Amino acid sequence: MNTHKKYKIGYTSGVFDLFHIGHLNILKNAKDKCDYLIVGVTTDDEVLRIKNKKTVIPFKERIQILESMKCVDKAVSEENVDKILAWEKFKFNVIFKGDDWKGTQKWLEYEEKFAKINVDVVYFPYTQGTSSTTLRRVINKIIEEE
């Protein structure tokens, strides 16, 4: 039985380094709201440019993980984190983001731009207790103790 979802094409993106339950939650929630989910995976070069740090898991492996998930219809490389550029390429009608970004200057501007082209911005609750930053800190601590 094919039940029509609220949105036809959805988009979300991230680094997806040290994949964890928070990543899974956002992807499953996004897929529950759209027929076709496109996931942008930030390239290693772009992560270095925007966060000034190297990923633990290389891009080719991170995108393979996303491509293999049943809640992801298409995984694409995100060479630039500008979401308007992503929209120009994929013409999605909703973009999903964690609510830790809600109310930030950057996302208030995106909300305004997307409203002009009839794209909804949907925020999902941030998964408390786990993040790639926390995992990275724990891993570094273990390495230091060895």
CATH code of 65's domain:
3.40.50.620
Each residue's pLDDT tens digit, 65-110: 999 999 999 999 999 999 999 999 999 999 999 998 999 999 999 9
Q: Is residue 13 part of a domain?
A: yes
Q: Is 10 helix (H, G, I), strand (E, B) or coil?
A: strand
Q: Is residue 74 part of a domain?
A: yes
pLDDT band, very low/low/confident/very high, at 138 (cuts 50, 70, 90): confident
Q: What tokens appear for 71 in the block?
A: 């809640």
Which tops the pLDDT comparison, 59 or 4? Answer: 59
Predicted confidence at residue 3, as pLDDT, reads 59
Q: Is residue 2 part of a domain?
A: no
Query: What's the Cα-to-Cα distance from 75 to each of 78, 90, 140, 145, rounded to whole Å?
Result: 9, 12, 29, 37
List the catalytic residues: 51, 53
pLDDT of residue 9 exceeding 50, the answer is yes
Predicted confidence at residue 121, as pLDDT, reads 97
Q: Is residue 103 part of a domain?
A: yes
Predicted confidence at residue 76, as pLDDT, reads 98
Backbone angles phi, psi at 36, to 5 degrees: -135, 120
Overall number of domains in the chain? 1
Residue of 124, 125, 127, 128 whose CA lies nearest to 10: 124
Predicted confidence at residue 67, as pLDDT, reads 97
Domain residues for the domain of 20 are 7-145
User: Which residues make Cβ contacts (< 8 Å) with residue 144, sequence separation at least 6?
Assistant: none
pLDDT of residue 2 exceeding 60, the answer is no
